[in-house]
Chain A
């Protein structure tokens, strides 16, 4: 008897759990399909429902709001779709809300998406008609995708030829394979870095100098800022101009003299001709010069003898002392 009771309890638990799972499953399925709870109807019209069927989901801003209840053909260009919407969503659905037919994922079932309009409008009424908005269908998207694919194909072909050209370029590969280039590049970069630092320092110095010049400091500053120096400079420039004019005159005179001398030489007249062309005069001059040298040597010896003479020796000592003192001062 006790065993029978135990078996009955086990059987009860078994059946109850099975029924409970069934009931819960049916409730969850029914809740998703709006079989329970209060609902209201909304209509929308399309020219092409693109495979939408009764039972497909309706989403309001991505939230599950209801299901497609009925599909009716009104005329050859209009199909009316009746939506069963959860009453809890009613305050959020306005009369100007857009209804579009979309896909649940790329390959999923069709869904109706309700998109709120930013423009204020009254709340939708039971059986009210919603606006529709045409969205690009999968076929249109596939066509665009096909065009994009063609473009990608062209691009990839060009890219392949470019890569081939790069691969076949010996010059480029020799540059890439040269191991000294990175080292040189590093050295160059470090040099550039150092140069940049120096340029920075120099620019700072130049800035200081420019500032000093602007403030009238130093020779350049006084040159720029001091009016007196500027006047002196003007005068100096004027004098230089005068000197240049006078030198021009002088050069003209020298030129005329040179021409005269040239003429005399050519004609065999004058001192220049005698000096440059007359060989007799030259030999005489040479003899005179050697006589002068001999005379000068003899004079030097006489002067040396005078320095050692007891009569004149004191005078020379005095002169030597005077010179020494002058040198010290």
Chain B
């Protein structure tokens, strides 16, 4: 721990001599970040199960994170469904399988596009706001003030936000899927005519649990990653307004990247389980 603390202090230098080895400071900075983030995550899991539970704050965060994000994610989902349908249609016509349009669009939206696009929009909106909000609180020493007043700032600020993000993104993703499929239905009806019941019959005739459940489960991980990265970046932002901006920016970038990494891992797992 002492060595780790020393390393954290000296990472600003170009490189350090560690057991007669020249290690670049960027690599040390990376490991330092990983270590700090791991500690942050482990503290989260400790705090989330321990009473006292900040239920009111949690519900408030659910409202702010989930409900307030619905219009943005809903519009995105609708446009994605519509555009995907209109883009796929000429190709399917070329192969003479235009009747399979609901099948292809539903699989694309439910398995991949719905969860990933929702998560990316969610990361852009929520992760940056968390980073900026907690960063501002850190800069203005509100977090320190909370500690002094006896309130656990981690539980009050971080746990509630991360938990709300973890639980709200699946709900948003399901709603985004539904809105996207409706957008796709309208996209089909721009050129052809299909009844709503026939369209959704085709959709649900295609989908299997192997398509729906992994997609829903991975959104919990997306939500958790977005929440924890946003909170970590804000909670550990450096002093000054520049630090707040950097925290918000890096929160968005890293959480977006994490969404894709988690998606990659999920695809591998579902492939191994034979769900693809």
Chains A and B belong together in one complex: yes
Residues 37-79 of B at the A interface (beta carbon under 8 Å): 59-60, 62-63, 66-67, 70
B64-120 residues at the A interface, CB under 8 angstroms: 66-67, 70, 95-97, 99-100
> In the assembly, what is the distance between CA of A64 and CA of B205, in Å?
10
Cβ A29 vs Cβ B66 within 8 A: no
Q: Measured between alpha carbons, how far is A30 from B178 in the docked complex, in Å?
A: 17
Contact segment of A20-28, A214-222, A237-245 = A20-28
Please tell me if B171 contacts chain A, counting CB pairs below 8 Å.
yes
Report the number of A-B residue pairs with Cβ-Cβ less than 8 Å: 73
In the complex with contacts A25-B212, A28-B204, A29-B212, A18-B174 CB distance below 8 A? yes
B208 sits at the interface (CB 8 A)? yes
Given A11-B67, A105-B97, A21 and B174 touching (CB < 8 A)?
yes
Question: Given A19-B171, A22-B174, do A29 and B63 touch, yes or no (CB 8 Å)?
Answer: no
Interface residues of chain B: helix, strand, loop or mixed (majority): helix
A15 and B171 in contact (CB under 8 A), knowing A33-B208, A108-B100? yes
Interface residue range, chain B: 20 to 34
Residue of A nearest to B175 (CB): A18
Could you tell me if B171 and A29 are in contact, using CB atoms closer than 8 angstroms? Answer: no
Partner of B172, one of A8, A18, A28: A18
CA distance A4 to B95 in the complex (A): 55
Which chain B residues border A18 with CB–CB below 8 Å? 170-172, 174-175
Q: CB within 8 A of B66: which of A4, A14, A107?
A: A14
List 5 additional contacts besides A4-B60, A7-B63, A25-B174; criterion CB under 8 Å: A15-B66, A18-B170, A18-B171, A29-B209, A107-B97
Interface residues of A, Cβ cutoff 8 Å to B: 4, 7-8, 10-11, 14-15, 17-19, 21-22, 25-26, 28-30, 32-33, 35, 55, 64, 105-108
Selected A-B contacts with CB under 8 Å, 16 pairs: A10-B63, A14-B67, A14-B70, A21-B174, A22-B171, A25-B174, A25-B178, A25-B207, A25-B212, A26-B212, A26-B213, A28-B207, A29-B209, A33-B209, A64-B205, A107-B95
